[in-house]
């Protein structure tokens, strides 16, 4: 099922994105908001952080998609959400499909027939779109963002009220000119130098937005800029001494289609694939599937590891930290190549008086890892769970290579990482891998789905 989304019309959204991109470019910041032939960009999907993409299509259609690195409830949803269920055929499926498979798609919203739509979530979720694109959602937000650009990276001193008001007016003039497709070099000169002309430029009210970006005809045949003022030099220095690059800002305006005689770029309609991979298990569901199989597994018969100095050292450390003072101490641990955790047993090791916080755990981690390394075998592999009980009657040691022991609490949320378990299983001989190893394959979480 689909639901409507309250967003500005595509033409307004595009103009605000373009003006921010042009202003940032004019002060030398070209790495965040950008415009090219494929649309508008905020960051990039191949980077580990947040990103967004906005593209226009003919027929007053548009698509907005991305991922907020700090708000990814849709990618972590349990059960999983298919953001492309019911999406139209014309979306850029060649890009969206791979992003969804890699869990790099937090929201997908499209505009068609005068409305923005997306998949309906099972419950209210923060998909990250609002947090990521707050600067574009209202005119006042965009004006505030432009002012922040000028006082931050732009280095303008706007503490004087009269100057601040003039620059705010220049921001509004730039934004309104973008809606009309009339952005010229003078707008960036007024904005980026912080010294707008005392007399405001003639400004009609912004045209009503129809949902379509400005379209002012084809550029002149001779290829010259439609407004001669776009031949401006790089402007005058800002308060920090940096010289704004007016020509670069204008070039973005031309590329974005908000300058006279230009048109915003459109992408070609996409083509829905006949089949695609769709997640059927969330990350949490996949984890719990593996963990349940580990609970049900039995240990393969292995020879007991030989006695080692590392075991003696660990036992001595536990006896020395007996909470009852009679040598009784318990160790419950999980370890793999990159992680280690412990849970309290009946007699957890105590801290020594005056000991630095976490010092005992750091020392315990070193001892457990040393023992695990000493007891490793290229055929049998390395144990995952370890239980050691010391006391007056002797020492009991239990190792689990293939199964989840009853004495290790399972809260259904935290447990061994599947990627870590894959690494552990790959280091063993094939005959020493438990049956649940096949469940670690990422493909287990996906199913092919027809998209027709």
Q: Residue 341 in contact with residue 334, Cβ under 8 Å?
A: yes
**Confidence band for 200, pLDDT divided at 50, 70 and 90:** very low
Summarize pLDDT for 320-379 with one digit per residue, the tens. Answer: 999 999 999 999 999 999 999 999 999 999 999 988 888 999 999 999 999 999 999 999
**Confidence band for 191, pLDDT divided at 50, 70 and 90:** confident
Q: Give the number of other CB atoms < 10 A from CB of residue 215.
A: 12
Check whether 393 has a pLDDT greater than 70.
Answer: yes
User: According to the model, what pLDDT value does residue 195 have?
Assistant: 59
Please give the structure tokens belonging to residue 163. 């100057």
Helix, strand, coil percentages, rounded to 5, for the chain: 35, 15, 50
Average pLDDT value for residue range 392-420: 96
Q: Residue 202 in contact with residue 184, Cβ under 8 Å?
A: no
Question: What does the domain layout of the chain look like in residue ranges?
Answer: 2-256, 283-450
d(CA 152, CA 144): 12
Give the C-alpha distances (Å, rounded to integers) separating 94 from 51, 66, 372: 18, 15, 46
Q: Residue 45 in contact with residue 67, Cβ under 8 Å?
A: yes
- Answer with the residue of higher pLDDT: 153 or 400: 400
User: According to the model, what pLDDT value does residue 211 have?
Assistant: 42
Check whether 183 has a pLDDT greater than 90.
Answer: yes
Check whether 231 has a pLDDT greater than 60.
Answer: no
Please give the structure tokens belonging to residue 378. 């290229």
Least confident of 26-40, 114-128, 191-205: 191-205
């Amino acid at each position: 099922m689909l639901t409507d989304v309250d967003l500005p019309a595509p033409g307004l959204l595009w103009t605000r994105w373009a003006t921010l991109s042009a202003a940032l470019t004019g002060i030398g910041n070209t790495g965040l908001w950008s415009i090219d032939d494929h649309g508008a960009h905020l960051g990039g999907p191949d980077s580990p952080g947040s990103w967004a993409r906005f593209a226009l299509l003919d027929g007053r259609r548009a698509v907005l998609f991305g991922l907020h690195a700090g708000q990814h409830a849709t990618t972590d949803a349990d059960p999983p959400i298919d953001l492309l269920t019911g999406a139209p055929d014309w979306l850029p499926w060649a890009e969206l499909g791979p992003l969804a498979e890699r869990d790099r798609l937090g929201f997908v919203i499209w505009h068609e027939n005068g409305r923005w739509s997306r998949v309906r979530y099972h419950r209210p979720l923060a998909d990250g779109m609002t947090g990521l694109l707050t600067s574009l959602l209202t005119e006042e937000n965009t004006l505030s963002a432009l002012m922040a650009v000028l006082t931050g990276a732009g280095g303008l001193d706007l503490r004087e009220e009269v100057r601040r008001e003039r620059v705010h007016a220049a921001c509004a003039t730039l934004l309104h000119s973008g809606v009309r497709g009339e952005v010229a070099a003078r707008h960036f000169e007024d904005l980026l130098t912080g010294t707008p002309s005392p007399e405001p430029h003639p400004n009609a009210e912004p045209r009503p937005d129809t949902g379509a970006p400005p379209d002012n005809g084809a550029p002149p045949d001779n290829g010259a800029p439609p407004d001669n003022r776009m031949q401006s030099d790089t402007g005058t220095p800002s308060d920090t001494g940096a010289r704004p690059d007016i020509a670069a800002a204008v070039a973005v305006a031309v590329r974005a289609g908000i300058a006279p005689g230009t048109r915003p770029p459109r992408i070609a309609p996409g083509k829905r694939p006949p089949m695609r991979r769709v997640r059927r298990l969330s990350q949490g569901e996949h984890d719990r599937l593996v963990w349940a199989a580990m609970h049900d597994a039995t240990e393969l018969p292995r020879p007991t590891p030989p006695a080692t100095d590392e075991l003696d050292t660990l036992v001595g450390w536990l006896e020395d930290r007996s909470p009852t003072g009679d040598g009784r101490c318990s160790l419950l641990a999980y370890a793999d190549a990159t992680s280690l955790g412990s849970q309290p047993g009946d007699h957890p090791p105590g801290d020594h008086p005056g000991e630095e916080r976490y010092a005992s755990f750091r020392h315990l981690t070193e001892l457990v890892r040393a023992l695990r390394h000493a007891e490793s075998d290229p055929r049998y592999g390395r144990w995952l769970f370890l239980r050691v009980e010391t006391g007056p009657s002797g020492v009991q040691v239990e190792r689990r290579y293939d199964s989840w022991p009853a004495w290790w609490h399972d809260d259904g949320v935290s447990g061994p990482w599947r990627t870590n378990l894959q690494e552990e299983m790959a280091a063993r001989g094939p005959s020493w891998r438990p049956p649940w190893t096949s469940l670690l394959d990422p493909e287990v979480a996906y199913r092919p789905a027809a998209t027709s």
